[in-house]
Amino acid sequence: MDKNALKATAKAMVSAGKGILAADESSSTSEKRFASVGVPCTEENRRQYRDLFLAAPNVEKYISGVILHEETIKQNANDGTAFPVLLQKKGIIPGIKVDKGTKDLGLHPGEKITEGLDGLRERLQEFYKLGARFAKWRAVITIGKGMPTMACIHANAHALARYAALCQEAGLVPMVEPEVLIDGDHTLEQSYKATLATLKKTFEEMADQDVYLPGAILKASMVIAGKSAKKQTSPKDVAKWTVKCLKAAVPKDLAGVVFLSGGQGDEQSTANLNEMNKLGKTPWPLSFSYARALQNPALKIWAKDLAKNVSPARDAFLFRAKMNGLAAVGKYADSMEKGRPYSL
């Protein structure tokens, strides 16, 4: 394992004022996102859609890395450059989603296990050759009656640790993502308990597998009440409980923490991250790795006219990227939304 290279990559992924664009939607997720705005989910439309973000002028001002889908890492941008090369030229680190999605966990109805360890060593070597320098694996933890079970937390944490070890062996920084879902009507306290147990187990398993933490990134979900809970969580409480949870479970020598948006609103995701960074110094940089919260306004604009709306869609994306870049250093204010270049 080349610890110095891993550490340098991980550090660059969370450099001040920048974050990660998650552009690794699976074909079924892309299908749903495109259907929601009436765009046919063809391979060419997916390529054009990815070009919109990855080839946006000055995207490197706010984005340090991009998580690519296996399809995209092998495609070319509109100017003929391979997408990972285009990113490298801009100083953006190409990443790759390497899990194979979730299946029902045996004997535990309602819970999921992420698959993809078989053949992973060889796939990682291939992605490294294509230019990837980090890799993401998403585990899913559901809150509900009697859930999450320790069986689900343990199985997923173990898989995350094994994937992380293989990544580091192959020269890729693992972006370890145990997502506690926001779906449901659970309370803030339930979210805190589930997230704490998940993170503790994940880092225990990573220690058992000798994962090198200064060369690893955690992609976390925020501690927040369920989407349909009666009492929603204010940004101040999201910040307080998320940071408390991280401090209780995440070793100090980890390179950084980035958050997923998980179905939160675009501005809500920005405001919550900003409040965390306003709380003061944490052992790790806290930044973003959003898909929907960065892409949604752009997708809606682009969908109205795929050929003519590339430029306004890019403006919308770059605006959200800029706001989140400010939130990553606690310098965002919701009054800044007045200056945004789009209306939906």
Residues that bind ligand 13P (CB under 6 A): 22, 138, 177, 260-262, 290-293
Least distance from C-beta 91 to ligand 13P, angstroms?
Answer: 22
Do 247 and 216 touch, CB atoms closer than 8 A?
no
**Residue closer to ligand 13P (CB basis): 107 or 344:** 344
How many beta carbons lie within 10 A of that of residue 278, not counting itself? 15
**Residue closer to ligand 13P (CB basis): 215 or 262:** 262
Least distance from C-beta 25 to ligand 13P, angstroms?
Answer: 8
Do 148 and 198 touch, CB atoms closer than 8 A?
yes
> Is 177 annotated in the active site?
yes
Mention every residue, 6+ apart, whose C-beta is less than 8 A from residue 202: 156, 157, 160, 161, 176, 178
Assigned token pair, 22 = 């998650």
Assigned token pair, 116 = 């993809």
**Annotated catalytic residue within 97, 112, 136, 177:** 177
Separation between Cα atoms, residue 203 and residue 209, nearest integer Å: 10
Separation between Cα atoms, residue 320 and residue 249, nearest integer Å: 30
Look at the chain and count its residues: 344
**Residue closer to ligand 13P (CB basis): 22 or 197:** 22
Least distance from C-beta 293 to ligand 13P, angstroms?
Answer: 5
Do 238 and 229 touch, CB atoms closer than 8 A?
no
Nearest to 128 by CA among 161, 80, 95, 89: 95
**Residue closer to ligand 13P (CB basis): 260 or 323:** 260
**Residue closer to ligand 13P (CB basis): 65 or 148:** 65
Least distance from C-beta 80 to ligand 13P, angstroms?
Answer: 28
- Grouping H, G, I as helix, E, B as strand and the rest as coil, residue 220 is strand
Least distance from C-beta 161 to ligand 13P, angstroms?
Answer: 18
Nearest to 339 by CA among 319, 321, 324: 319
Mention every residue, 6+ apart, whose C-beta is less than 8 A from residue 44: none
Least distance from C-beta 2 to ligand 13P, angstroms?
Answer: 26
Do 233 and 225 touch, CB atoms closer than 8 A?
yes
> Is 322 annotated in the active site?
no
**Residue closer to ligand 13P (CB basis): 311 or 322:** 322
**Annotated catalytic residue within 18, 97, 136, 219:** 219
> Annotated catalytic sites, by residue?
177, 219
